[in-house]
């Protein structure tokens, strides 16, 4: 592997001149710069990023902490972060934690070792995430929360209005005549709690305080939705419309009903939230669209402003609005057969 010394020898210049050309730290005459760049290309020289970061205390690298790359919302947000970072001259280190404290600790160590310039955090509010934030703050590394834990109130945050997400989903059902409405929530999830609040607000406008049925999942996965769907098909509760906390739960729920000989929307109308997997369901899922890409772009803009010092002062929270995207998984309540309770 070629070294900076090899490049200097090939170009017939000093190591300091090679460094100046590569890092663009001072003026170098055009012919000399050309010789250095030709030598770099000929020898295939790759600057040592970590060594440069240690020397300059700037790595031109940003980390994005994600709980999973399997949920389509997170790659969409990451795309927004990465596009904005690339335009600003930064690379993005993706840290897929799987919500594992061991992984989170290992990534914390890595971020310190590589001296990342900033961090975007998209994660549940785990204790290990709070510990990561405390460690990064002690090392003066700027951060921004992107659709992450609301408990992290001492850093900038870019969120979606989750109460409005639930409200729009429930309104879509109510506007088509549904009154017996259920909700799939996720245990210990603040996001799910806020979306349930929005469902309740929509129901209150119609004179009903709470959903007729609340199903509880352990997490936002398709498998959890499938498990709940099988139980739903067996019990046949008397509801005609259902809101799922996210699309993955909705898709799993729909698959389970299909396997049990039931269907969406023939037996129950269904609305998801995220609008990420809606097109993969047949009939196409009605879902509340979250501007994940725009949120990623906004989060990176906020982070850059903290990194370059153009934004100072108290942490700021930006909340983006969702929008309902109507599919074919909701039909008027009059079309639904009225399920009978088991005796």
Tokens of 312: 């100072």
Question: How far, in Å, CA of 142 to CA of 129, rounded?
Answer: 15
Give the count of alpha carbons within 13 A of 342, CB side only. 6
Separation of alpha carbons 43 and 10, rounded Å: 9
**73 is written with which tokens?**
């919302």
Residues 66 and 137 in one domain: yes
Same structural domain, 198 and 277 = yes
275 and 167 within one domain: yes
Least confident stretch, 123-127, 162-166, 173-177, 194-198 = 123-127
The domain tally of the chain equals 3
Residues 196 and 211 in one domain: yes
Segments forming the whole domain that contains residue 21: 4-47
pLDDT at 157 over 80: yes
**What does the pLDDT look like over 242-257, one tens digit per residue?**
999 999 999 999 999 9
271-316 pLDDT tens trace: 999 998 887 788 899 999 999 999 999 999 999 999 999 999 999 9
Starting from the edge strand earliest in sequence, which strands make up the sheet with 91-96, in order?
91-96, 61-66, 118-121, 143-146, 156-160, 317-320
Same structural domain, 26 and 73 = no
User: pLDDT band at 340, cuts 50/70/90?
Assistant: very low
pLDDT per residue as tens digits for the range 132-145:
999 999 989 999 99
Asked if 119 and 256 sit in the same domain, the reply is no
DSSP string for 42-79: HHT----HHHHHHHHS--SEEEEEES-SSSTHHHHHHH
pTM over 0.85: no
Q: Are residues 14 and 141 in the same domain?
A: no
The pair phi, psi for residue 208, each rounded to 5°, is -115, 135
Q: What is the pLDDT of residue 337?
A: 54
Residue 194 maps to which CATH number? 3.40.50.2300
> Is there a domain that residue 340 lies in?
no
CA 128 – CA 331 distance, rounded (Å): 44
pLDDT value of position 231: 95
């Amino acid at each position: 592997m070629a070294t900076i010394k090899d490049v200097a020898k090939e170009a017939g210049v000093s190591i300091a001149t090679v460094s100046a050309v590569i890092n663009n730290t001072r003026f170098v005459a055009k012919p000399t710069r050309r010789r250095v760049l030709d030598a770099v290309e000929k020898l295939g020289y790759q600057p040592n990023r970590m060594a440069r970061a240690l020397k300059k205390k700037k790595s031109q690298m940003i980390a994005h902490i994600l709980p999973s790359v399997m949920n389509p919302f997170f790659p969409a947000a990451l795309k927004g972060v990465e596009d904005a970072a690339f335009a600003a001259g930064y690379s993005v280190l993706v840290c897929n934690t799987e919500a594992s404290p061991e992984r989170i600790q290992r990534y914390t160590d890595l971020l310190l070792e590589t001296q990342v310039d900033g961090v975007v955090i998209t994660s549940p509010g785990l204790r290990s995430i709070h510990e990561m934030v405390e460690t990064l703050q002690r090392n003066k590394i700027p951060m921004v929360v992107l659709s992450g834990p609301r408990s992290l109130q001492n850093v900038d945050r870019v969120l979606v209005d989750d109460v409005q997400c639930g409200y729009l989903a429930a309104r879509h059902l109510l506007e088509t005549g549904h009154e017996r409405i259920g909700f799939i929530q996720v245990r210990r999830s603040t996001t799910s709690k806020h979306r349930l609040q929005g469902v309740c607000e929509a129901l209150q406008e119609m004179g009903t305080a709470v959903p007729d049925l609340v199903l509880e999942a352990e997490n936002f996965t398709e498998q959890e939705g499938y498990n709940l769907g099988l139980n739903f098909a067996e019990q046949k509760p008397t509801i005609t419309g259902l809101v799922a906390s996210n699309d993955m739960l909705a898709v799993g729920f729909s698959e389970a009903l299909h396997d049990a000989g039931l269907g969406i929307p023939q037996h129950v109308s269904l609305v998801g939230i995220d609008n990420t997997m809606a097109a993969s369901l047949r009939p196409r899922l009605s879902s509340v669209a979250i501007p994940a890409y725009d949120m990623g772009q906004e989060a990176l803009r906020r982070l850059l402003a903290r990194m370059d010092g153009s934004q100072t002062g108290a942490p700021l929270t930006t909340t983006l609005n969702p929008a309902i995207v109507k599919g074919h998984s909701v039909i008027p309540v009059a079309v639904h057969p009225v399920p009978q309770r088991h005796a």
